[in-house]
Amino acid sequence: MTREIPEGVNPKDIESVLSWVKGSSLWNLHFCFGCCSTEIMAAMMPRFDIERFGFAPADTPRQADVLVANGPISRKIVPRIQRLWAQMPDPKYLIVIGACPMSGGPYQGSYNIVTDIRDVLNVEPAAFIPGCPPNPEGILEAFIMLKNRIKEGSYGKL
Amino acid sequence: MANFEKIAATPETLVDTARSLKASGFTFLEFMSAVDYIPKNKVEPGANRMDAVYMLWNPATNEQKMIVVPLPRDNPSVPTVMPVWEGANWHEREAHELFGIDIKGHPNLRHLLLAEGWNDTYPLRKDFNVDDVEIDWSAPTSKLAEGNPERVYHFAVQHPGAHGPQGFDLLLDGNTIVDAEARIGYVHRTLEKLGEQRNYYQNILNMERGCIMCGMPYIDVWARAVEELLGVEVPEKAKYLRLIAVELNRLSSHLLWMGPQQGGDFAYMPVAMWAIGDREKVLDLLEALTGGRITFAYIRPGGVRWDIPEGFREMAQKNLRYLESRLPMYEEMMFKEPIVKERLTGLGKLTPEEAIDIGVSGPSLRATGVAHDTRKDAHIPVYEDLGFQIVTQTGGDGWARGMVRLGEMKESIRLILDALDRLPPGNSEADLFNRRAMPWMKVPTGEVYAVTESCRGRLGIHLISDGTSKPYRTKIRGPSFSNMYAVEHILKKGSYLYDIPALIGSMDTCPADMDR
Amino acid sequence: MIFPHSLGAWTHVLRIWIGDNMLADSLLFKLFVFPGTVFSFIIVLFLFWWWRKIGASIQSRYGPKHVGPSGTLQTIADVLKLITKESIVPEMASKWFWFMPVFSFVLSFLFLSLIPFSDHWVIIDFDASLIMLFAVMAIEPLFIFLVGWASYNKYGVAGGERAGIQMLGYEVFLALTFVPVIMMSHSWSLVGIVYAQGVSPTWASPVLHTFTNRGVWFGFVQPLALVLSIIAVMMAVEKKPFNIPHAEPEVLYGSSTEYGGPFYALQMLSQFLMGFLGAGLITTLYLGGWALPFVPPAVGFVLKTLVVGTIIIWLEHSLPAMRIPHFLDVAWRKLVPLAFLNIFITLIIMEVLGWA
């Protein structure tokens, strides 16, 4: 489907509207592959409430925009992550929470842990938030970083 | 603390020994695992064998016995003890895939924790090389999926009703479950092998991640195991502080269970949200005491890291009294509400005999009427001084399990406040313990099995030390491993699709605990 | 249907469609602006925000807050984002895959056409419109099933099948709750039922409505019927506790599991539209339709419907989901007898009040 910009409309305006739209409504896939998911869940609940910013949970990958890598990546779960990522429609984003998906975290040296999510998905994440697990405020920080990067246009295709 | 007697057996006499031990009162199989001795080990230098070990518990007398079956390292093989204890099913599968022990007569020796197409390399053997691993990704996900994967309904991994990366492959007829097979192992972070690679100090962080919602009992039991081997006595104050920390963690875990786990199963959002909101108050206390909300590293061999901060007593009084006042409301919303009551009553009914045979422990066991709580059975310090009462229910169904957890929450609040009132003076850590040298401390050769009551059930660590600064074998007996087997057992007996999330939630299985 | 055969006949048809002097008289305006497409989009955008705010308030949270003043632009952002996403059609899905969500939206639009926002602002009005409405409500579960079936997805089919189970529970009950209203008003048309509640006509409608004017809103005379109707409507539009077709913990997202992007936006919109219209049905049957003092008729209707809708949303957020056997048990063993009892009570009330 080709999208043609009508005469007289500034492409920059369309881009800024689109990036506002996509940044204001980020739905993250409910996929828990480890410990940090408890803090993500705490982030959606009273006291931290990330829904204020428009970040809502989605149950199926077809409705999700963001895959939150939130735990140690065991070998068994690798094909499932890849399949879920493939099932998510474009534009989709990746953020990494916790030390495990970026370096193996406390489980380095284990025979069953893949240390870097970039090896699994071949995608650069928008944000890395270290911690074991990070605070819900840290998780909110990750989402806001993603939103800002979308707005700047430095991440993902619109 | 449990020290145990070893009973030798051979593969031929194994089943008879097991039967006679069970008849004499050892009705609970804690775990079945193995210990690998290669010639250059320091525990028994020169030994070249694999010991299959079966840890048994006598609930009536609180005795522990371990059946040890020495096996050759090439082609080790034992008969299955499933006719004696049904719960041995998954333990034997795990021993098979991690050690390579062939279990004769086992109905289903497919991979449980490791990826389905893992080749014939056995990770927990001492001569395992991680470069030898190859995984065949086309292997079917379960026995039900063999041949025709399309007909299987996957209720696993990303399914929101499965509460984490665990689940089942189902064969359905409408909404009725014809057959079920569990799929776990997605969070298998190999804590046991890492336990051998880390020293005793680093293992505190390792063991803590055994269960994310309930990490404090793990470090508590690890610390007590190491102290037993070192012969260190912990000061009174540290024992009280440990109790406070463990019970706070139990409160936060049960609130999490009541909220998103059990309440979320019914899409009962008010309870889910309010319970987590209240849990934040408990997490505030934990953060004030230990510095962490989910992971703490607070309890270490010798004592605890630091004393209670100023103002902690007042904060605890305020937060816990508030929580206590909210519990009747939760009781009414979760257990008296007609819709929820109808969903929980009769859900996954277990009889006491079935539960003990499978190895179910914790609130799920106490809900069947069996009054066993490791805090009392193993005489864990301070609980009895504070008048600890075991909470039980009869009925064995989801409603009873929930009521037990609710009762445990009330008991935990009382214990914490009493312990704070009666906190003795003194040090929070043993004086004669050289903290500076702790990371490099060498623990003399020995073997110990330490138990405690984690939020989900009977948690044990079987620790073998070899005189160096790293353990030789750390076997973790996670309660959710057996509890999840109970769920599979219940589903196989006949159940419905709409009951599964509530069932998993009511048995409160934690994938981290199961997969270790 | 006679094809216009002369210039005069064509002029006559065009006049009906475009209107003589008042644009507002035209069918086109009603179809596309109010109460048609534009209005339904606006009301659905509002309702989605309102639904999230009420839910958040019950759950001690804030809900959408920062996207626009107090989160009011959140829904627009959500819908626009969904529209701009890649639309994925699975390889094995039926060739009707993309058509199904459109079809279910059209069905809810048909429902919208029947509900009278006032006797002037109604798109389809004839003297048996209640029966047609009931027929439309009865077809709806079939479309939910077709949506799931067309997606060739296990969870979709499982969810769609459950829509059939839900229908088994509520169809008869829903029909029985309409009966007292028909008995009291002696009318089968929705506009006629509103007239029967003592609301005076706002314009000279060309349709002949037969009714008996009772002069009082039926909700006051028949509170039990009002409560039962609210429950029946909640079952029909699948609100919790009757959200069996899309019970998240069990079947992922039910029939629309496989639909993402623009397809999902359509389904979300049609779901909220049905919720609004269900509340609108209650208003029409029991709460005097469009009559509210000091406000124009259609505005009165929308306001009252939003109040009923708020009550339904409130109930939805406070209750857990029901188990299927429990739902069928309650529907058939408790609610259907209550509906029959209600009919009996209606007879007694009519005797007491002297209504023929």
**pLDDT by residue (tens digit) across B159-211?**
877 788 888 888 888 788 888 888 888 889 889 999 899 888 888 888 988 88
**pLDDT, position C29:** 72
Closest by Cα among C277, C339, C301, C275 to C194:
C301
Give Cα separations from C254 to B71, B437, C160, C263 (angstroms): 52, 58, 6, 14
Up-side HSE of residue C59: CA atoms within 13 Å toward CB? 31
The answer to whether residue B113 scores a pLDDT higher than 70 is: yes
**Of A31, A35, A113, which to mutate for an interface test with B (greatest number of B Cβ within 10 Å)?**
A35
Please check whether residue A144 is in contact with residue A53, taking contact to mean a CB–CB distance below 8 angstroms: yes
Q: What is the pLDDT of residues B299-308, one digit of tens each?
A: 888 888 888 8
The count of CB pairs under 8 A between chains A and B is 103
The pLDDT, as a whole number, for residue C17 is 62
Q: What pLDDT is recorded for position A1?
A: 40
What distance separates the 2 farthest-apart alpha carbons in chain C?
66
**Residue C56: its chain A contacts at CB < 8 A?**
49, 51
* pLDDT tens digits, one per residue of B136-160: 888 777 777 777 777 788 887 888 7
Per the model's pLDDT, the better-predicted residue between C21 and C230 turns out to be C230
Give the model's pLDDT for residue B292.
Answer: 86
Nearest CA in chain C to A43: C61
CB contact under 8 A, C80 and A89: no
Task: Give yes or no for residue C311 having a pLDDT over 90.
Answer: yes
Q: pLDDT, tens digit, for every residue of C243-253?
A: 777 766 676 67
- Options 3.30.1540.10, 3.30.1370.60, 3.30.460.80, 3.90.1150.10; CATH for B5-142 is 3.30.460.80
User: Which of A80, A106, A113 has its CB closest to that of B157?
Assistant: A80
Dihedral over Cα of B114, B120, B126, B131: its sign: negative
- Contact flag A65-C65 (C-beta cutoff 8 Å): no
Neighbour count for residue C311 (Cβ, 10 Å): 13
Contact C65 A53 (CB under 8 A): yes
Distance from CA of C68 to the nearest CA of A (A): 10
C142 touching chain A per CB within 8 A: no
Buried/exposed B362-392: b ≥16 CB within 10 Å, e otherwise: bbbbbbbebebbbbbbbebbbbeebebbbbb
Domain(s) of CATH 1.10.645.10: residues in chain B: 191-515
Give the Cα separation of B336 and B349 in Å (integer): 19
| Cβ <8 Å between A35 and B294 | yes
CA distance A114 to chain B (A): 10
DSSP C183-232: HHH--SSHHHHHHHTTPPPSS--SS--------S-HHHH-HHHHHHHHHH
Tokens 């919208």 belong to which residue?
C112
- Please tell me if residue C350 touches chain B, with a CB cutoff of 8 Å: no
Is pLDDT at C11 greater than 70 in this prediction? no
In this structure, what token pair is assigned to residue A101?
């998906």
Q: What are phi and psi of B217, to 5 degrees?
A: -60, -30
Amino acid at A79: P
Q: Are B450 and B229 in contact (CB under 8 A)?
A: no
Chain A partners within 8 Å of B272 (Cβ): 45
Residue limits of CATH 3.30.460.80 in chain B: 5-142
Between CA C163 and CA C244 the distance in angstroms is 7
Three-state secondary structure of B49-109: EEEEEEEEEECCCCEEEEEEEEECCCCCEEECCCCCCCCHHHHHHHHHHHHCCEEECCCCC
- Cα–Cα dist B361/B373, whole Å: 8
Looking at CA atoms only, how far is residue B115 from chain A in angstroms?
A: 5
Query: Residue C257: closest CA among chain B residues belongs to which residue?
Result: B159
Tell me the pLDDT band of B2, cut-offs 50, 70 and 90: very low
Is residue B1 pLDDT above 50, yes or no? no
| Cα angle for residues C19, C21, C27 (degrees, 5° grid) | 20
Lowest mean pLDDT among B95-99, B121-125, C77-81, C296-300: C296-300
Tell me how far apart the alpha carbons of residues B365 and B452 are, in angstroms, rounded to a whole number. 15
Question: Does residue C158 belong to the interface with chain A, where contact is any CB pair within 8 Å?
Answer: no
Contact C249 B499 (CB under 8 A): no
CB pairs under 8 A between B and C: 72
Other C-beta atoms closer than 10 Å to the C-beta of C17 total 11
For chain A, give every domain's residue range: 24-152
Domain locations along chain C? 1-29, 87-353
- The fold of the B191-515 domain, in CATH, is Cytochrome-c3 Hydrogenase; chain B (1.10.645)
Distance, CA of C164 to CA of A48 (rounded, Å) = 39
Which position has the higher pLDDT, B344 or B145?
B344
Residue written as tokens 């309010």? Answer: B274
- Angstroms from B258 CA to nearest CA on chain C: 14
Work out whether the CA dihedral B251, B256, B262, B268 comes out positive or negative: positive
pLDDT of C248 reads 64
Partner-chain contact C61 A45, CB within 8 Å: yes
- Whether residue A74 and residue B187 make contact (CB cut-off 8 A), yes or no, is yes
Rounded Cα gap, residues C118 and C111, in angstroms: 15
For chain A, what is the radius of gyration of the CA atoms? Answer: 16
- Say what the pTM is: 0.89
pLDDT-above-90 percentage for chain B:
27
* A29-66 pLDDT per residue, tens: 888 888 888 888 888 888 888 888 888 888 888 888 89
Subunits that touch chain B (at least 3 Cβ pairs < 8 angstroms)?
Answer: A, C
Touching check for B278 and chain C: CB below 8 Å? Answer: no
Contact C257/A52, CB-based, under 8 Å?
no
CB contact under 8 A, B189 and A112: yes
- Looking at residues B119-128, what average pLDDT do you find? 87
Q: Does B185 touch chain A (CB under 8 A)?
A: yes
Cβ atoms of B186 and B489 within 8 Å: the answer is: no
Chains interfacing with C (3 or more CB pairs < 8 Å): A, B
Q: How far apart are CA A153 and CA B129, in angstroms?
A: 45
Selected residue with higher pLDDT from B45 and B94:
B94
B163-167, B218-222, B385-389, C27-31: the lowest-pLDDT one: C27-31
Contact predicate C67/C80, CB 8 Å: no
Instruction: Say how far apart CA C66 and CA C50 lie, in whole Å.
Output: 15
Taking the C-alpha atoms of residue C329 and residue C327, their distance in angstroms, rounded to an integer, is: 5
Q: Are residues C315 and C55 in contact, defined by beta-carbon separation less than 8 angstroms? A: no
Spell out which residues of chain A touch residue C71, defining contact as CB-CB under 8 Å. 52
User: Which positions in chain A have a beta carbon within 8 angstroms of at least one beta carbon in chain B?
Assistant: 29-35, 37-39, 41-42, 45-47, 59, 61, 71-72, 74-77, 79-80, 84, 106-107, 109-113, 132-133, 135
**Chain C: nearest CA to B159, how far in angstroms?**
6
Residue C76 scores a pLDDT above 60: yes
What pLDDT score does A37 carry?
85
Q: Chain C within 8 Å of B326 (Cβ-Cβ)?
A: no
Residue entry with tokens 């959200």: C243
The reply to whether B325 touches chain A by the CB within 8 Å rule is: no
Residue pLDDT, tens place only, B451-462 = 999 999 999 999
C320 touches chain B (CB under 8 A): yes
- Centre a 10 Å sphere on the Cβ of residue B277 and count the other Cβ atoms it contains: 21
Whether the CB of C58 is below 8 Å from some CB of chain A: the reply is no
Closest-CA residue of C relative to B268 is C320
Q: Answer yes or no: are the C-beta atoms of A74 and A112 closer than 8 Å.
A: yes
Cβ contacts of B266 on chain C, cutoff 8 Å: 249, 320-321
Could you tell me which CATH number the domain at A24-152 has? 3.40.50.12280
Using pLDDT thresholds of 50, 70 and 90, give the confidence band for residue C280: very high
Reported as a pLDDT band with limits 50, 70 and 90, residue A4 is low
How far are the Cα atoms of B316, B414, C119, C131 from residue C126, in angstroms, in the given order? 68, 69, 11, 10
The alpha-carbon radius of gyration of chain C (Å, integer) is 21
